[in-house]
Amino acid sequence: MLRIDGSSLTLADVVRVARNAERVELSNTAYAQIKASRDYVKELLKNKAVVYGITTGVGELSSHYIPPEKAIKLQENLIRSHASNVGEPLEEETVRAMILLRANALAKGFSGVRRALIETLLELINKDIYPYIPAKGSVGASGDLSPLSHLALILTGQGECLVEGKRVDANKVLKTHHIKALQLQAKEGLALINGTQVMAAHGCLILCDAFALIKHAQVAGAMSLEALKGTSRAMDARIHAARPHKGQSYIAANIRDLVKDSAIMASHKNCDKVQDAYTLRCMPQVYGPVYDTLNYVKSIFEIEINSATDNPLIFAEDKDVISGGNFHGEPLAFALDFLGIALSEIANISERTVDRLVNPHVSGLPPFLAEGNGLNSGYMIAQYTAAALVSENKVLAHPASVDSIPTSAGQEDHVSMGSIAAEHARMILKNVVNVIAIEMLAATQGIDFQQPLEAGKGTKVAWKYIRKFIPHWKEDRIMYKDIEKMADIIRSKVILDELEKEGIQL
């Protein structure tokens, strides 16, 4: 059971709730601050204070005073009118993550909501309710207004949920699970929909997969290094100590571990070859910065998922309420754009390595890794697929955050486009998984041709595991099935588990 208090959530917590159905409850330590914040909102209403979103309209309509007796109607109208997303629904794991993140932000006690509202959000998670939230429509300021409005609708018994792939009236779903629909009070509708939780949810899940993917990229690269009879000399620790970027040294050390005791490498130790191509020699200098970028992005998200991101914020202890801009998604938009660029670079170097593996003019291997003297095409077209995915990534990696379209009659005159950056990063990640899958297949085939010489300590583990499920390409068969199977193995992370059993921790 995960207990949230607004301040101690981790990326690992988010992943466990989103993907492993871990249950969540509100920590007792959060109650006092939540109550104080809510009590101050009641005081503001009693005194008929003019406060944005509580006794005024929102956005360009903030100059319109709303009397306290209409505060509930204002909140209801907000979530109805703002729920305007379109397109395919967000994946269930993304929705679970965004619910958790919104509840955690409200638990900080700066939002002026009731404890019951936060606990109802957690009931959606704990009873596996899947709100229907179309994916497209957020510009990333004021946060993810529209998709969060779709979530807010569910709490009031409006909107829809997905049940076995079908859209079902939310009120019916709530009754089935014995959850009482809420009537949102003053400030609560606005508190629910002002925030960055959709882009943050995407980012947390992408990051989890990206850290695993950069490990698989190293395994694929080390296997390719052996298949192409490259040298590990470029991984020498002294080279990387002379340019002490953390990620660069980390990658070089990992590749040294993976190819340790390689009979393949030992067989050509005294050959005439002076140095390898950049794709092999510069893996630490390329994958290292990718790793450093992932850690930078992680640091941004660790702050964001424990932040109050709605507006206005209630400072009950100071008897103050302040309109600000914590809902603006720029920190995440930049980080997600950078994440997409870094992931794209994994595929860029991987595809060039695949080309080197299949090219008989440079590989020293059979043409296109095929047997049969022209009868079989081997991995010829798999390289085309990798090239197509890399080309698509070049478009997707264009920063979404450099764009801004003013909204709300110019009141919201700069927006982050963070949700678009998140979607692009998610698409890039999927493409890169497939590119690495193709490299792993090609490198495994290349190592086959080096037998009876054995691969290194780590690369041999990966090679043996792959060959348990995907046989040697002796004659042409349906290629896409092998790629899909290899991509599934990558997503399962089982090769990383097998390496750990051998004492190799990437």
Q: Rounded to an integer, what distance in angstroms lies between the CA atom of residue 328 and that of residue 416?
A: 7
| Known catalytic residue at 250 | no
In angstroms, the CA 136 to CA 413 distance is: 20
> Between vectors from CA 302 to CA 392 and to CA 106, what angle results, nearest 5°?
110
Q: Tokens 């992931």 — which residue? A: 343
31, 52, 296, 465: the active-site residue: 52
**Which of 449, 436, 416 is closest to 496 using CA atoms?**
436
382: nearest Cα among 428, 427, 433, 442: 442
Q: Cα(44)–Cα(54) distance, rounded to whole angstroms?
A: 9
What is the amino acid identity at position 376?
Answer: N
Closest CA to 208 of 51, 9, 429, 381: 429
Other CB atoms within 10 Å distance of the CB of residue 196: 36
What are the DSSP calls for 282-345, one per residue?
THHHHHHHHHHHHHHHHHHHHHHTTS--SSSEEEGGGTEEE---TT--HHHHHHHHHHHHHHHH
* Catalytically annotated residues: 52
